[in-house]
Structure 1
Amino acid sequence: MIKRLFLLLCLAGFASLVGAAVEVDSKARPFWPGVNYDTAIPTFKDVLGYEAGERISTPEAVVRYFEALEKAAPDRIKLFRYAQSWEGRPLIYAAIASPKNLADLEVIAADTGALADPRDTSDANASGIIDRLPASVWLQYAVHGNEISGSDAAMFTAYHLLAAGDHEVSKSVLDNTVVFIDPLQNPDGRARFTSRYYATVGLAHSADGISAEQNEPWPQGRFNHYLFDMNRDWLAITQPETKGKIAALNRHLPQVVVDIHEMDGDQSYYFAPAAKPFNPFMTQAQIANMDAIGKNHARHFDRFGFDYFTREIFDAFYPGYGDSWPTFYGASASTYEIGSARGHRYLRKDGSVLTYADTVRRQFVASLSTAEGTALAREKILRDFYEYQVGAIAQGRKSSGRVYLMPNQRNREGNQRLATLMAQHGVEVRRATADFSACGVSYSAGSYFIDTAQPRGRFVATTFTDQVDMTEAFLKEQERRRARNLGDEIYDVTGWSLPMMFNVQTNACSRAVSVDSVSVGADDPLQGMVKNAEASVAFLVPWRDMAAGRFLTAALQAGISLKSADEAFVLDGGARYPAGSLVIEVSANEDNLVQELQRLAQQTGAIIEGVDTSWVTEGPSFGSDKAVKMLAPKVAMAWDEPASATSAGNTRFVIERQLGYPVTAIRSGALATGDLSRYDVLVLPEGNYADMWGEEAAENLIRWVEGGGVLLAFGRANRFLTDTEVGLLNIKREYAYREDSADTDADADDESSEVTGSLLTSREALSQAIIESETAPDSVSGVLANIDVDQEHWLTAGVDPQLVTLAAGNDIYTPIKLDSGKNLAWFADEANLLASGYLWAENRAQLAHKPFLVHQPIGDGMVIAFTQTPTYRAYLEGLNLLLTNSIFRAAAHARAN
């Protein structure tokens, strides 16, 4: 009895602690004063046991609450499941409307689709549709899992629209719009945040910025399972969350889309107008619509006494964000950002405390105001949506690059990947079923083409055009700021041409193409095949694209015995095969080889050619030392601090999901002293490893490499390897080049308080005089740069002589000397270096001819250094064959030593 009483007292005490941990600020006010709510609609308290803003809801709680709302009001809210995260969590969106509009949701989608294609809908018919059609607004929240207030605000927005039927704002919204709410774009990241946050909570929530509650451990909740910043995944569509969301948007085509975020807790609230520059393929009508909705927010924020700002940050130039991608099907779109409490309470620099309830309330007000602003401008927004499509088609018809063509040539897999990706975006893509000519160029059957005289023509133009320019005035201002040693205002990458990143050749033609063709679907598979399945000697896979690369990884895991040729060869009869081509000898494999090859051909899209002779007339024979036996390597990579979370996640994703090969993630601390002998390849993603690793780690890595290990380093990871005390890579990171650097501070003496006098003849001279002589180059947000590739090394087998990489940051390295290794890829000359984007002239000059890929043998192993990251955002697919060589061919050569 005493034990039971003691247990009950303990449980009561624990419950009081938990209760204390979820208390809200005593000054919390109603989210929208003066509203009477229908008690038939369940509140947060009814379903979840706490009030809105009182606790950070888990992903499971978010879904549970929306399910309760649907059960209570099925005539006004309907839920849709649009994806499943890598960790198995559902992603949902809700449609909220009047009973009539909700019942007519499919009709509304069809009418919206008709507005989206003026080729089938005349202006008169469009006017009739606009008269009867509600506008659609899409509110999406928490693409970054630790930007927490949005999901709870999404739930309260849905509750308010359903329960506040007499509220004039709610009535206006429901009479004139369909509101789509995507409450949680990143459930895996939010789950990571909430679990770790509440694990740190004690008797009371701490508002201190240095408390454990306010400091997330690596990799933070911002990212999804593969640690992607999913607000940058809209172009490549690599993640299931993004794929499902884009499919849903393409289904409903909402005319107003808002992506709702959080920012630093000492900032207030940001909404449109956006900062400059704007993407030139956006229209003034789209920009004006978001400005008008922004003014509606200001009216409510002024009423409630909420601070806000506009225009200062968050530009609308890069087309791959959640607030920019929808503009290219005609929506008016924007980002909202609120200062985050990053928990229950946040102590601001001015001494005030921001509560979680504060942030949820502001996000709710902005959400409801967005729907209201859409309702108030319903007719104009729908008319602008239709006119956007009219303008896109007209612009495509008069463009000198009306049609983009992808010849059916070398990169067969890349062509198909890009064609189906564009179809996934909602672009009309065609594949020719016969040979044809366009603008004087001959194309074979199987070539793809995209006519920009279509509703998505502007999206094609902005993603296929080599160069999308920022305004001259904006660039002039950035150069002025640099001259004054101020930070530039370029927010993200300035080059993003998809054909360049996919290593796909495209040609432009000013005229429509006439040829028999078929429509390309988003899920069309690449057709592989086995030619001459009765071959008696061997089966060959030409090493030209990632269909062959994926075949290699699948074959290794299936236990197939195969070799890879270091050099190109010609078989008796004249058939030529590129360097890297795979040789699968019949005699070295099991009796079921052909069945396995047929299965893998269909799985990977590879073309496999059976041959009845091994007689080679040029290049290495099948039995040569230059035909290296491939074995399945054990691949590890650094995980956890100090690795960059996005670089680690992007790299793991590329290897596992694009190359199709498993990776063992090892925490960086364990790599310093752990037994690495079980692994053949170790990948170091971006990161400042010197922050954690010292002499012991260096010695451990050196022993492993000397014993036959392959060490791959990306971007900033090379800073550790090039440290003179580490000695794993004999190149050096450069300071910024300055013509006067030899004379700068020449007479300075650190031991003296005086120096020889100098003359400063201009303000520019003053700006130069205050720069340290040994300083890094100016940082680059991100451009596409051309690289040249050595064609006479086994590591670059089958790789094209020119590729494109993304260059960002300010790391520039010296070439490696011949007695240490070899430079296998390097940046092009100054005149040809920039492929797309805006690059500081000084960086362009200094980066020219500097190494991109360096190979340094050490003992029986080697170091392979990429001075920029080849897995950046997983959209540099044109580099994947080079990456495949760096893992699999390198491991084979290390073992051959």
Structure 2
Amino acid sequence: MTSAMFFAVSKRGAVRAALLIFSLVFARAGLADTNWPADDYDPAIPTIEGVLGYSTGERITWSHDVRRYFDALAMAAPKRVRIIDYGRSWEGRELFYVVISSPDNIAAADATREGMHALRDPRGTSSTEAERLISELAPPAWLAYGVHGNEISSTDAAMMTAYHLLASREDPRVPEILNSTTVILNPMQNPDGRDRFIHRFESALGLEPSSDRISAEHNEPWPSGRTNHYLFDLNRDWFIRSQPETRGHADAVFEWLPVAFVDLHEMGSDSTYYFAPEAVPYNPHLAADQRASLELFGRTNAKWFDEFGLDYFTREVYDAFYPGYGASWPAYFGSVAMTYEQASARGLIVRQYDGVELPYADTVRNHFLTSLGTLETVASNREKLLRDFYNYQRTAVSEGSRGEVQAYVVPAQNDQNAVDRLGALLASQGVEVGRASESFKACGADFDANSLVINLDQPAKRFLRTLMDRETPMDPQFVVEQERLNAKNLPDEMYDITAWSLPLLLNIESVSCKERVAATVDMIAPGAVPTPDLPAKASVSYLVPWGERSAIQLLSHALRDGLAVKSSDKPFVHGGETYPGGTLIIDVADNSENLHEHLVDYVKATRARVVAVNDSWVTEGPSFGSRKVVRMNAPRIALAWDEPTSSYSAGNFRFVVERQFGYPVTAIRFEELRKEDLSRYQVLVLPDTYDGYADALGESGKAHLRDWVERGGVLISLARATRLLADPEADLLASRREYRLELLPEEETPDGEEARVPGTALDKEAFETATESREAAPDGIGGAQLLANVDGDHWLGAGVAPQLHVLARTSDVYTPLRLNEGTNVVTFADADDILASGHLWERNKNQLAYKPFAMARKLGKGQVIAFTQDPTVRAYQEGLNVIVANAIFRGAAHARPLR
């Protein structure tokens, strides 16, 4: 690719007549072609073409070649470049970031990290010492590329940026950037997804790239390259830390504490370029100076885009409300965090809606421009950004010591595993969390040992408020505007979920206190876990109380190792202790002589509670040999895979079962489910779907599925997969999906087929009703946490908490089952109480009240279990893990296939 080709700027399809002027501008700025022939670049620094054999934008670079190029840079400039490995992806690809700065700053990297952490804690760093650090430090500036694997341009722009910083000898910004900042580039956060995309793209590539959007080059097959191996959107994983790619990256970011963090993305092909400031709503726990600084970066980027005649937009679409993005999570530690979005070529060239062709090279160039613009802004505002960072921490500590909430106590409770999980999750993100070593009084209540104590007079105060509060409020005017748009059936402006409270996601109690809590605690160290109590040796049985993830993991170990395990459908009392429904019973007589050794190993691995008993006498509830005690089996689990499943839902469910429960899942392409023999599988899971399953299965497929269930299979549906079960033609569940509430009754609706209709008189309310869609779905739910009640009399509710918090993201509403049709095991609360956190339209509240979240029906020898919302979405809802495990393992135990 020639210099003119790369830097020719397209403005709605035409190459500007002033190309020569632009070339001079680029040369004056020190920018050049990917081959850099038109400027003074250090020949000792290897070019991309010299290492990889092509210039930037000419090809899409595979992950291993990205690493190869950065290794070449590090070898050529060892005093200015460091490569740090921070982990490996699920598929074993390297995860790394690159530090680039002056030799002095590279040598002082350890001191820079220490200085940033000193600024983060004003309790130990005086204002005088802070000013010294502010005057001396070269603050980290972090550019993160390629979190979505099919958003391809940013990774190539990372290589271009690194080359320019190391090789340019004319751009006056470069020495200022290298002397004043510590540049950190993460070239690709999701190498598995990137290589999946490139493989698909190159396999479809012909003699020359096609810009036609219906070509195979642009038509990504399921599941696309966006996600990682387990099909997670890594840009939603930052505070829950479920994936290795995110955990390693977040740990590295926290180690350096950059003053600015940018996540570079791609968006739809028909757009331009987006950079900060972000759209409303803003999270109320962001500081005012952070929001003000967004404009500094935006104006620098705008200056360069204006210079080269490039279109862009700001303050639209991409908001700063949800804290789980890469471009938001660092903000709660004082960074100025931002998203940049480039219209995607999704290949080497694409035709936009108006016929303009967008080359891949242009998309790379644009990310390169904003990368340098960001670094320029940090260098020019070094002291301001460092001072703002220090003041962010200082004001956080001050607010935490005098605010309306000054502490949280998470009481020790039945699901202690979830309590400990919360403490470890927060500690891993720089939060000071204590575990009480003895009982104490606080906030007008008594708390037991092992409760968590989190005082807010610490730098992480704002992070804690946004994750621990039951509700993070949106600006009231913004909410009013969304209600107005919704009433007119216009799209709302809520970009992601509106509720994410960690205690609700884990389904545990948390108490907010108006004063600091003084209790004797042991501080939780990141990565540390409590030492488990090992079981004594039993002569009769071992009991494993049900209701925690650790018990699910122990069951998985036991079943995979072939142990004989029973489980009680109902609570029982043994030796004066009450055991919840679902409790596992592992009899000594039914297992091998090394049973105790197995259980000791399981407890070490899972921290499950195991109680050794030397008699089987039960004083209340079912005895160990009761008909209400079922024998657990090791079910083979099949998961529908490929179109028309939602790849997110399929991957998220598989991750929860395989990595959180420790039990294998077999993915089966959907086409095979229509006709192949499923008798080897006891459980089949249908993930959420966008297009529905009924048409894809056809009549024969529905009959095939029903026959499998009747012969003893367990069919589980997630979210919109329940539409198939509730389809009268499938005849799997008697529930039916509802239309939107408050539609005009059909008999009162004028017949649209008549030439003239009777006249009507309308007031405003009648007008709004009369203009509603006749058969509209309920209003969409952007992601709210809803309260639901559990029927503990059914085996699906065994060991499940009496109330659950469900993250609702789909608008489907289903009628309850009648008593003779099955059981509504979990139903949403009444309209006044249903909303636990987030935003829910008033009409949704009324329609969802008392409607089912989880339904179960015995069908023939099998079981049908329907979840009307996805309980495993994003692996967020660990508080729902028990009911998911019940659906799988207890469902299989309650099916009665021919043996």
CA offsets 1:696-721 (integer angstroms, 9 cap, x no match): 11011111000100000000001122
CA shift digits 1:798-855 (9 cap, x unpaired): 1111010111121000001222111000000001000000100001110000000000
2:334 aligned partner, one-letter code: G
Q: Secondary structure in 1 aligned to 2:773?
A: coil
Residue 767 of structure 1 deviates from its aligned partner by 4.0
Matching residue of 2:137 = 133
Q: 1:376 maps to what in 2? A: 380
TM superposition shift of 1:482:
1.9
- Specify the code of the residue in structure 1 equivalent to 2:373: S
1:495-644 matches, within 5 Å, as 495-533=499-537, 535-571=538-574, 573-644=575-646
Aligned equivalents of 1:548 and 1:485: distance in 2?
Answer: 46
Counterpart CA distance in 2 for 1:78 and 1:185 is 17
Compared CA separation, residues 754 and 48, structure 1 to 2 (3 A): same
**Counterpart of 1:719?**
723
Aligned-partner residue type, residue 339 of structure 2: T
Confirm or deny that 1:843 pairs with 2:847: no
1:52 aligns with 2:21: no
Match of residue 13 from structure 1: none
SS of residue in 2 equivalent to 1:401? coil
Structure 2 CA distance for aligned equivalents of residues 214 and 45 of structure 1: 26
Q: Give the equivalent residue in structure 2 for 1:487.
A: 491
Query: Partners of 2:522 and 2:211 in 1: how far apart?
Result: 60
The correspondence for 1:206, drawn from 195, 204, 210, is 210
Asked if the contact 2:408–2:453 (Cα under 8 Å) also holds between the matched residues in 1, the reply is yes
AA at the equivalent of 2:633: L
Counterpart CA distance in 2 for 1:58 and 1:220 is 16
Structure 1 CA distance, aligned partners of 2:614 and 2:115?
A: 60
Q: How far apart in 2 are the matches of 1:556 and 1:317? A: 43
Pairs within 5 Å for 1:290-329: 290-329=294-333
Q: Give me the whole-angstrom Cα distance separating, in 2, the residues matched to 1:32 and 1:307.
A: 19
Counterpart residue number, 2:17 = none
Match among 351, 355, 359 for residue 355 of structure 1: 359
Tell me the alpha carbon deviations over residues 465-513 of structure 1, each in whole angstroms, 9 at most, x when there is no partner.
0011100110111112122322111111101100100011111222222
2:296 aligned with 1:262: no
Letter in 2 for 1:615: W
SS at match of 2:200: helix
Match of 2:391 in 1: 387
Share of identical aligned residues, percent? 48
- Which runs of structure 2 are paired with 1:762-777 in the superposition (5 Å)? 762=764, 765-777=766-778
Asked whether the 8 Å contact 2:201–2:347 carries over to 1, the reply is yes
Contact 1:815 1:851 in 2 (8 A): yes
1:115 to 107, 112, 119: 119
Is the contact made by 2:228 and 2:234 (CA closer than 8 Å) also made in structure 1?
A: yes
CA distance in 1, matches of 2:410, 2:477: 35
Please say which of residues 790-799 and 139-148 is displaced more in the overlay.
Answer: 790-799
Identify the residue that residue 669 of structure 2 maps to in structure 1. Answer: 667
Match of 1:14 in 2: none
For residues 485 and 743 of structure 1, the distance between their equivalents in structure 2, rounded to whole angstroms, comes to 23
Between the aligned partners of 1:507 and 1:777, the Cα distance in structure 2 is 34
Counterpart in the other structure of 1:477: 481
In angstroms, what is the RMSD of aligned CA positions?
1.6
- For residues 32 and 76 of structure 1, what CA distance do their matches in structure 2 show? 20
Which letter maps to 2:794? H
Structure 2: distance between partners of 1:766 and 1:406: 50
1:167 & 1:890 partners in 2: Cα distance?
Answer: 66
Aligned equivalents of 1:859, 1:232: Cα separation in 2: 41
Deviation string for 1:434-467 (max 9, x for gaps)? Answer: 2221123222222211111111111111001001
**Aligned-residue offset at 1:125:** 0.9
**TM-score under structure 2 length normalisation:** 0.95
Deviation at 1:35, TM superposition (A): 4.0
Q: Which amino acid aligns with 2:683?
A: V
Cα deviation, residue 25, structure 1: 6.9
Partner AA of 1:218 in structure 2: W
Q: Find the aligned partners of 2:768 and 2:446 in 1 and give their Cα distance.
A: 56
Local SS of the residue matching 1:102: helix
Whether the aligned pair in 2 keeps the contact of 1:708 and 1:862 (CA below 8 Å) is yes
Normalization by structure 1: what TM-score? 0.95
Counterpart code for 2:78: P
- Partner Cα distance (1:484, 1:799) in 2: 40
C-alpha contact 1:527 1:606 (8 A) present in aligned 2: no
1:428 aligns with 432
Distance in 2 (CA, whole Å) between partners of 1:351 and 1:576 is 71
Is residue 25–residue 355 contact of structure 1 (8 Å, CA) maintained in 2?
no
CA distance in 2, matches of 1:765, 1:140: 52
**What is the aligned length?**
872
Q: What is the CA-CA distance between 1:725 and the residue it aligns to?
A: 1.2
Deviation at 1:575, TM superposition (A): 2.1
**Which amino acid is 1:219 matched to?**
P
Query: How big is the shift at 1:896?
Result: 7.6
Q: Is the 8 A contact 1:530 1:610 kept in 2?
A: no
Contact 1:130 1:379 in 2 (8 A): yes
CA contact (8 A) 1:44 1:65 kept: yes
CA contact (8 A) 1:525 1:605 kept: no
Instruction: Please give the secondary structure, in 2, of the residue aligned with 1:692.
Output: helix
CA distance in 2, matches of 1:739, 1:65: 61
| Contact residue 529 and residue 598 of structure 1 kept, 8 A | no
CA distance in 2 between partners of 1:610 and 1:245 (Å):
42
Question: Among 748, 752, 755, which residue is 2:751 paired with?
Answer: 748
Separation (CA, whole Å) in 2 of partners of 1:731 and 1:268: 46
Letter in 2 for 1:785: L
Whether the 8 Å CA contact 2:112–2:139 is kept in 1: the answer is no
Residue 832 of structure 1: aligned partner: 833
For residues 636 and 679 of structure 2, the distance between their equivalents in structure 1, rounded to whole angstroms, comes to: 10
Q: After superposition, what is the alpha-carbon deviation per residue over 1:376-400, rounded to whole angstroms, capped at 9, x for unaligned?
A: 1111000000000011111111123
List gaps (5 residues or longer) in structure 1: 1-18
Give the Å deviation of 1:77. Answer: 0.8
Question: Aligned AA for 2:547?
Answer: R
Matched, 1:342 2:343: no
In structure 2, give the amino acid aligned to 1:865. A
Give the CA deviation at 1:171.
1.5
Q: Does structure 2 conserve the Cα–Cα contact (< 8 Å) formed by 1:24 and 1:344?
A: no
The aligned amino acid for 2:718 is: F
**Residue of 392, 398, 407 corresponding to 2:402:** 398
Counterpart secondary structure, 1:321 = coil
Q: Which amino acid aligns with 2:64?
A: E
> Are 1:709 and 2:710 matched, yes or no?
no
Q: How far 1:722 moved relative to its partner? A: 1.4
- Cα offsets for 1:403-437 (capped at 9, x unmatched): 11111221111011111011111111111222221
| 2:31 paired residue number | 32
Q: 1:24 to 1:642 in 2, by over 3 A?
A: farther
Distance in 2 (CA, whole Å) between partners of 1:420 and 1:38 is 48
Cα distance, 1:305 vs structure 2:
1.1
2:240 counterpart of 1:239: no
**Which residue pairs with 1:413 in the alignment?**
417
Gaps of 5+ in 2: 10-22, 33-37
Distance 1:668 1:300, change over 3 A: same
| 1:282 counterpart (269, 282, 286) | 286
Query: Given residue 586 of structure 2, which amino acid in structure 1 is its aligned partner?
Result: I
Cα distance in 1 for partners of 2:541, 2:318 equals: 57
Q: Distance in 2 between matches of 1:730 and 1:741?
A: 23
Q: How many Å apart are 1:93 and its aligned residue? A: 0.3
The one-letter code sitting in structure 1 at the alignment partner of 2:567 is S
- Worse-matched range after superposition: 257-266 or 513-522: 513-522
